């Protein structure tokens, strides 16, 4: 191999090694523009999102809203987006997503509905939640709670986790499959999680 060929080969390899980083950044620039990237490539069948316990703080009849931000709320804003898919990788429009979480201090609002809300996926199966990064409370790592249900489907109750949390490894419920992708966006964060529901 002469010097010229070696250089071209190195350039070729460098060009390709840069691709994953560029691709990884793409969804976030689109998400910031308010547009979700296309559904991830997936095979014929995907594993359903695993269930987890609801814990003691679920309350039925949360308000319908996709922003849990209220004036004066403390904490780091985070926008969580994603799609709800079937195990055959088809978007699920009209799926119910009911989120609840603790506040910045690790407390749940059990008297009212602060940091609780439900919404339905759009025609492309997409959802968007504006909220704050939940605090932590004794015995648990940082997490969101969510119930997901396709129209006329059964309820999936689960929890979503943050990557890089010191509490993850020691948490008795933590599951890697339930990690969101989280990125910093100035003083806020963006997160992504796609749910996979077993229909019928």
Q: Classify residue 182 by its DSSP letter.
A: E
CB 124 within 8 A of CB 93: yes
Within 13 A of 146's CA, how many CA atoms are on the CB side?
24
CB of 1 to Fe ion, least distance (A): 58
Q: Which stretch binds Fe ion (CB under 5 A): 25-33, 38-46, 53-61, 161-169?
A: 53-61
55 vs 75 by CB, closer to Fe ion: 55
28 vs 137 by CB, closer to Fe ion: 137
Taking CB atoms, the residue at the shortest distance from Fe ion is 55
By C-alpha distance, which of 23, 158, 129, 131 is closest to 76?
131
CA–CA distance, 114 with 63 (Å, rounded to integer): 10
116 vs 192 by CB, closer to Fe ion: 116
Q: Which stretch binds Fe ion (CB under 5 A): 52-60, 68-76, 83-91, 164-172?
A: 52-60
Q: Find the distance separating the first CA and the last CA of the chain, reported in whole Å.
A: 59
Q: Count of residues binding Fe ion (CB under 5 A)?
A: 1
55 vs 77 by CB, closer to Fe ion: 55
Give contact residues for Fe ion (rule: CB under 5 A).
Answer: 55
């Amino acid at each position: 191999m002469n010097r010229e060929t070696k250089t071209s080969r190195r350039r070729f390899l460098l060009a390709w090694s840069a691709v994953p980083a560029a691709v990884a950044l793409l969804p976030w620039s689109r998400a910031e523009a308010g547009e979700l990237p296309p559904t991830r490539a997936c095979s014929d069948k995907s594993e359903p999102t695993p269930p987890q316990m609801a814990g003691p703080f679920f309350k039925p009849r949360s308000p319908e809203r996709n922003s849990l931000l209220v004036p004066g709320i403390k904490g780091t804003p985070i926008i969580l987006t994603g799609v709800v898919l079937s195990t055959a990788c088809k978007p699920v429009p009209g799926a119910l997503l009911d989120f609840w979480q603790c506040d910045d201090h690790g407390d749940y609002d059990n008297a009212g509905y602060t940091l609780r809300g439900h919404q339905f996926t759009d025609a492309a199966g997409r959802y968007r939640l504006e909220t704050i990064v939940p605090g932590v409370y004794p015995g648990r790592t940082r997490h969101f709670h969510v119930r997901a249900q396709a129209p006329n489907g059964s309820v999936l109750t689960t929890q979503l986790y943050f990557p890089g949390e010191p509490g993850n490894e020691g948490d008795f419920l933590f599951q890697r499959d339930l990690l969101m992708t989280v990125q910093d966006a100035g003083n806020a964060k963006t997160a992504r999680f796609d749910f996979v529901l077993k229909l019928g």
